[in-house]
Amino acid sequence: MTALVTGFGPFGRWSVNSSGEAVAALGAARPGLAVATLPVDHDAAPRALFDAVARVRPEVLLLTGLADEPRLRLEMRARRPEAWRDAPDDAARMLHGLWPWAAALDAMRATGAPARLSDDPGRYVCETTYWAALATGCAPLVAFLHTPPLGAGWDAARVAAAMGACLDAALSATSRGRRPC
């Protein structure tokens, strides 16, 4: 099963983006896992995502980004962002990810990481990218995971371990031929 995990580069006051650092660590720990770092830009991030998806053709896509919160946040849906205001009028205003939500939450918590489900990915580039992935059908399974900033008990390895557990929950559900949610 082919998976792609993406993170973002630095932006604003964040000279280090925990999502990009953890994605790099996860990719280094798992040879063969496709990873990509996306630019923090409403137009460039979806384009970079689509390029990576075209290269990898994933069956499982886990997008990740930084949120200034001390725990992981698995996003279950995305609103159509202003950046996609030119979308056809019949384009969905809200799209839902497809992921084994409960299993992923349990798996992340089993690593010792505090985590929760969320339905508000935050109206920034994270949500733009999540909505773009869902709206265009980038992969059969798509979810977005917000990661806490590095420091205060979080390093790239800890974030990567929880991220890997979240990914493994989806890979496990699909390998058993089960609907993931």
- Give me the torsion for CA of 3, 99, 93, 44, rounded to 10°: -20
In this predicted structure, the answer to whether residue 177 has a pLDDT above a threshold of 90 is no
The mean pLDDT of 10-18, rounded to a whole number, is 88
The mean pLDDT of 7-16, rounded to a whole number, is 89
Segments making up each domain of the chain, as ranges: 3-175
CA distance 130 to 127: 5
Amino acid 124: pLDDT: 79
Amino acid 1: pLDDT: 86
Amino acid 175: pLDDT: 66
Total residue length of the chain: 181
Q: CA separation (Å) from 23 to 32, 136, 148, 155, 164?
A: 13, 23, 13, 12, 9
At 149, which amino acid appears? P
Under the banding of pLDDT at 50, 70 and 90, the label for residue 45 is: very high
CATH architecture of 3-175: 3-Layer(aba) Sandwich (3.40)
Q: Are 34 and 3 in contact (CB under 8 A)?
A: yes
> Dihedral sign, CA of 69, 74, 79, 85?
positive
Amino acid 73: pLDDT: 97
In this predicted structure, the answer to whether residue 178 has a pLDDT above a threshold of 70 is no
In this predicted structure, the answer to whether residue 180 has a pLDDT above a threshold of 50 is no
The mean pLDDT of 19-44, rounded to a whole number, is 96
Q: CA separation (Å) from 165 to 61, 72, 85, 124?
A: 14, 12, 35, 25
Q: What is the pLDDT of residues 88-114, one digit of tens each?
A: 555 567 789 999 999 999 999 999 999
Under the banding of pLDDT at 50, 70 and 90, the label for residue 30 is: very high
Query: Between these two residues, 81 and 32, which has the higher pLDDT value?
Result: 32
Q: What is the pLDDT of residues 131-158, one digit of tens each?
A: 889 988 888 899 999 999 999 899 999 9
**Portion of the chain with pLDDT greater than 70, in percent:** 89
Q: What is the pTM of this model?
A: 0.91
**Mean per-residue pLDDT over the chain, rounded:** 89
